[in-house]
A and B are shown apart, each in its own frame.
Chain A
Amino acid sequence: MSLIRPSDHKLSDQKPLVVLKNAGVRRNGRWLVRGVEFSIGRGEIVTLIGPNGSGKSTTAKAAIGVLKPDEGWVERQPGLKVGYVPQKLAIDWTLPLTVERLMTLTGPLKAGEIADALSATGISHLARAEVQHLSGGEFQRALLARAVARKPDLLVLDEPVQGVDFTGEIALYDLIKSIRNRTGCGILLISHDLHMVMAATDTVICLNSHVCCRGTPQAVSQSPEYLKLFGSRAAKTLAVYSHDHDHTHLPDGRVLHADGSITDHCHPDDGHHHGDRADEGGDLDHSHGPDCGCGHHSRLQGFDTKERDRA
């Protein structure tokens, strides 16, 4: 499939759309997130996962310039056009807003562009409906259509499948993938699910006030158990992500490190992480083995019980 340039202006094809380097955001004397490093290139999908309050939205907002990092830096290509679907969007009942009018909220569009975006998201029939009357899934589609219609270079989707049932979730992920394939835009996706991500994801970044681990998802088809659980259609869309942590987040918010020490915070430079930023590759994770001696293979189970309860 040929990649159509998402917008008229010229952005470099070589450089990433956005780069975060050791980025941290601090509020009221507390680091919401710290030491975040990643980049998103054209056509690339990066998924942020982590428990509630782990700094996923903060990280996304820093990436698109809504929040300024208090540490490190964020580099965006000049003229980068962003399409944003925020996590929470409350539209007061007193505001009369149809789906069609929502499309041109932040910029003018041609009638054909609106129609294309609505039909791509499967809500052409809702063009005249007031947004306050839509169901959760319809509203997410309308928000997605709005963000896509402006032909962004970078699409930022903060929990786009919230309030959507499982079938709807699969359909939305398929839609997001087809948008990427058709327009070649970069996508930063935030998911509330710690273990299932979009199969088309290139990089998964697991956050809990810092980058806990990162990697690529594994196809569900390799795991007969998941295949049975989700069915073959979902298996094409979703993938499993296995965590690989060199530390554990305790229920009180402190962090237990590989060397047995406990600290209030955890970030790459705190000296408790072995082999993270020392090897200048910037790769924060490392693979554990039985002989690695860190003694806390939290992986899926550990993450589940300790961090989900807190969420």
Chain B
Amino acid sequence: MLDDFFIRALVAGIGLAITVGPLGCFVIWRRMAYFGDTMAHSALLGVALSLLFDLNLMLSVFLVAAGVSLLLLLLHRRGALSTDALLGILSHSTLSIGLVLVAFMSWVRIDLIGFLFGDILAVSRADIDLVWGGGILVLFAIIYLWRPLLASTVNHELAEAEGLQPQRARLFFMLLMALVIAIAMKIVGILLITSLLIIPAATARRFASSPEIMAVLASLIGVLAVTGGLFGSLHFDTPSGPSIVVAALGLFVLSLIPFGRRAAGGAMTHPTSGGQH
């Protein structure tokens, strides 16, 4: 017999996996894994602020993650620092500020491990509503933004020249990422959100012949990983987040074995610098 809490976690996890599939594809196509990680790490600052000011947890996580992504865009555009350094600074400083703030608040009892690595026990009926409600919103937005997002992934200026307003699409994409981080936090945990985004998408690449198929496959593979991971978590009494990531990794490795054609995906640049004559 499965317990109620487990069913709740499963329903929420499956909703989350479906949501993050297409988003995860854009994260790897646009090489934004580190960016996503930085946004996710800032979620702990959101948790701390929510406790400090008695705000809604998901709302404050969403606002902090969105704020960090906008700050990154702004700093990057001003060319203040290289993106890499910026990400490194923001990623770990927001995480640390969050941890320090939480430590100061001795009057609240907080399950830090649950926030960092996910906790299936923490999933409530309200969380399920949020995951599915937010997830449907994210999916509709992704479908609506699909063309400008995909075109600007191939080439930003091309999308701009042909009237697709890629800047606007990118802004919305950041907000969607922040939303996904807010709803994913309880299930996979702050530290592992990006792996739920990336690993199913990377696994899907091998079997996909178009961007659209890859997005759908990433969702399905995510559902498999979440289901397998949660069962494992229940069986071995391990935290839900790492168990899901291990299951996702297992699927990724499995996908490599029968088709040994191409190992890792390096970017191919076309065309190579023009021949002089």
For the complex, give the distance between the alpha carbons of A37 and B103 in Å: 63
Q: Given A96-B208, A139-B271, A140-B271, verify A86-B162 contact (CB < 8 Å).
A: no
Whether B266 contacts A93 by the Cβ 8 Å rule is: yes
For the complex, give the distance between the alpha carbons of A93 and B29 in Å: 8
For the complex, give the distance between the alpha carbons of A86 and B161 in Å: 10
B106 CB–A CB distance under 8 Å: no
Whether A136 contacts B265 by the Cβ 8 Å rule is: no
Contacts of A252 on B, CB cut-off 8 Å? none
A107 CB–B CB distance under 8 Å: yes
Interface flags for A280-304 (1: CB within 8 Å of B; 0: not) read 0000000000000000000000000
Closest Cβ–Cβ distance, residue A30 to chain B (whole Å):
13
For the complex, give the distance between the alpha carbons of A162 and B151 in Å: 22
Contacts of B28 on A, CB cut-off 8 Å? 92, 94
Which B residue's beta carbon lies closest to that of A131? B270
For the complex, give the distance between the alpha carbons of A165 and B277 in Å: 9
Number of A residues, CB within 8 Å of B: 42
Q: Which segment, of B1-9, B38-46, B152-160, B249-257, faces chain A?
A: B152-160
Whether A105 contacts B271 by the Cβ 8 Å rule is: no
Which A residue's beta carbon lies closest to that of B28? A94
Whether A106 contacts B159 by the Cβ 8 Å rule is: yes
Q: Which segment, of A59-67, A117-125, A203-211, faces chain B?
A: A59-67
Whether B274 contacts A162 by the Cβ 8 Å rule is: yes
Closest Cβ–Cβ distance, residue A259 to chain B (whole Å):
35
Contacts of A61 on B, CB cut-off 8 Å? 157, 161
**Which of B79, B158, B209 interacts with A106 by CB under 8 Å?**
B158
Closest Cβ–Cβ distance, residue B167 to chain A (whole Å):
11
Interface flags for A152-169 (1: CB within 8 Å of B; 0: not) read 000010010111111000
A132 CB–B CB distance under 8 Å: yes
Contacts of A180 on B, CB cut-off 8 Å? none
Which A residue's beta carbon lies closest to that of B272? A163
Q: Which segment, of B188-196, B210-218, B236-244, faces chain A?
A: B210-218
Contacts of A105 on B, CB cut-off 8 Å? 147, 150-151, 154, 158
B92 CB–A CB distance under 8 Å: no
* B→A interface (CB under 8 Å): 28-31, 79, 147, 150-151, 153-155, 157-164, 201-202, 205, 208-211, 213-214, 265-277
* A→B interface (CB under 8 Å): 28, 61, 64-66, 82-84, 86, 88-98, 101-102, 105-107, 131-132, 134, 136, 139-140, 150, 156, 159, 161-166, 192-193
